Amino acid sequence: MEWIVKSEIELPAVLKEMLETAGNRKKWMFTGDLGAGKTTMIKQICKILGCNDDITSPTFSIVNEYEVEKGVIFHLDLYRLKDLEEALNMGIEEYLDQDVYCFIEWPAVIKPIWPLDAVQISVQILDDSTRKILFL
Amino acid sequence: MAVNLLAIESSCDDTSASVLQDGNILSNVVANQDVHQLYGGVVPEVASRAHQENILPVVDAALKKAGISKKELDAIAFTRGPGLIGSLIVGVSFAKGLALSLNIPLIQVNHMDAHVLAHFAEDPKPDFPFLCLTVSGGHTQIARVDAPDNMTILGKTIDDAAGEAFDKTGKLLGLPYPAGPIIDKNSKLGSALFNFPKPKVGELDFSFSGLKTSIRYFLQKEREKNINFIEENMNDICRSVQDRIVSILMDKLETAADQTGIKEVAIAGGVSANNALRASIKEVGEKKGWNTYIPAFQYCTDNAGMIAVAGYFKYLNKDFVGQDVAASARI
């Protein structure tokens, strides 16, 4: 699927559609350049899922954990990790193995261990406020 | 008799141990090449497995440097959270195991509170109540501190931390990670020729995500006109970005001081090593009649010394925890 989103206001509708389409697929891989809006999208998805926590960038912390009524959501950012070994050492498999949502930014470093049913979201910058979003 | 406290910090990348005696820090060791040269081997990078390899040599080095044997310890303080769970577990488990074997009490410390209380590692120490702006790679917040165990968060970032704004700008400019110190250095040779917008967020909250995006577009547009724009204007771009980040931080800190009427003002966290931020807090402080406080660099970045200081306040209150305590990614 593919969307052209012209402003942040249009995002929630698109994200709701994505959540419905994804169904039980809970490991989401977000790719896109710096400033494309990956964290912004994850922020909105978490809100749709009923999360009231502050959602901030996990670039430094690598993993943020948010509370929702039925458990937790993991927000990961692998930007600082150099290779798969570093990701394995920080315990990436323990996050992927749990039956909870994992929204992962900069996931290329763990591509060899992406779950087979991983959702792939690619965000492309068209201009200042317009984004092309691909959903696989 | 003297009170000896061991503190352990393992919330993110760095493993650190510190020994404190009656409120004075005797040692503050962070796992690095020096420690590893003593014991052989190389420093592993990010991750819990690295903490497992680091923790024994680091604790041992901290005790030796302090000249204290483990039998002389009266309590063990540790970072319970927030942080990366796998990393926290290593420090928490080690602290619990050692406390159990020595039959001494355990003290849990909140990493963010410890950054603020790092101001009590050395003189001059702020008077209560004071305001503390904590800025690092992962955090940006202003707290009102009424007592060691009474802090109120007045504002915080709604997206990226200030340190991240430096690092991601560096990425856009092709600088290596972490870019903060390099941007700081380049800025000294540049002028603030380029103007970047200020974010519009709640009164005392911060936002740096929009700044990152606007820098990106700015560079893209300029490079369409001149492909060597970044290389030719590196110092001026660095200065412009740095000035903007610092002005965003200082504006909010000034607002917080005006609103609360508090004139004891402190900064903490790794980004407080930034020269422009240090100069700015002094300058604004003089203008406003504040007493300003910036801790020594070793207490700004993640370190166990600040955990020891925070732990000692709790020791005096006999605020101990049992062996059932567990690491917590979010507290």
Which of A126-130, B54-58, B113-117 has the highest average model confidence (pLDDT)?
B113-117
Among A59, A65, A80, whose Cβ lies nearest the Cβ of B46? Answer: A80
Q: CA B48, CA B37: separation in Å to the nearest integer? A: 20
Chain-wide mean pLDDT for chain B? Answer: 93
Query: Which pLDDT score, from 0 to 100, does residue A50 have?
Result: 95
CATH number at residue A99: 3.40.50.300
Per the CB < 8 A criterion, the answer to whether B14 and B92 are in contact is no
- Portion 35-94 of A in contact with B at CB < 8 A: 35, 39-40, 43, 54, 56-57, 59-65, 67, 80-82, 86, 89-91, 94
Does domain B4-116+300-316 fall into CATH 1.10.760.10? no
Report CA-CA distances (Å) from B9 to A65, A67, B28, B93, B307: 20, 25, 11, 12, 7
Query: Which pLDDT score, from 0 to 100, does residue B13 have?
Result: 82
Among A59, A60, A90, whose Cβ lies nearest the Cβ of B48? Answer: A90
CB pair distance less than 8 Å for A90 and B86: yes
Q: What is the DSSP letter of A90?
A: T
What residues make up the domain containing A79?
Answer: 2-135
Looking at beta carbons, which residues of chain B come within 8 Å of A60?
12, 136-139, 161, 163-164
Residue B231 pLDDT class (50, 70, 90 cuts): very high
Residue B42, pLDDT > 50, answer no
Query: Which pLDDT score, from 0 to 100, does residue B43 have?
Result: 46
Q: Is B328 on the interface with A (CB under 8 A)?
A: no
Closest CA to A36 of A106, A101, A113: A106
Report CA-CA distances (Å) from B98 to B102, B104, B105, B169, B228: 6, 9, 10, 43, 57
| Mean pLDDT, each 10-residue run in order, chain A (136 residues) | 93 96 97 94 96 92 91 94 88 93 97 97 92 95
Which ranges in chain B are annotated with CATH 3.30.420.40? 4-116+300-316, 127-295
Residue B44 pLDDT class (50, 70, 90 cuts): very low
pTM: 0.90
B127-295, what's its fold?
Answer: Nucleotidyltransferase; domain 5 (3.30.420)
Provide the domain count of chain A: 1
Count how many pairs of residues, chain A against chain B, have C-beta atoms within 8 Å.
84
Checking ipTM against 0.90, whether it exceeds it is: no
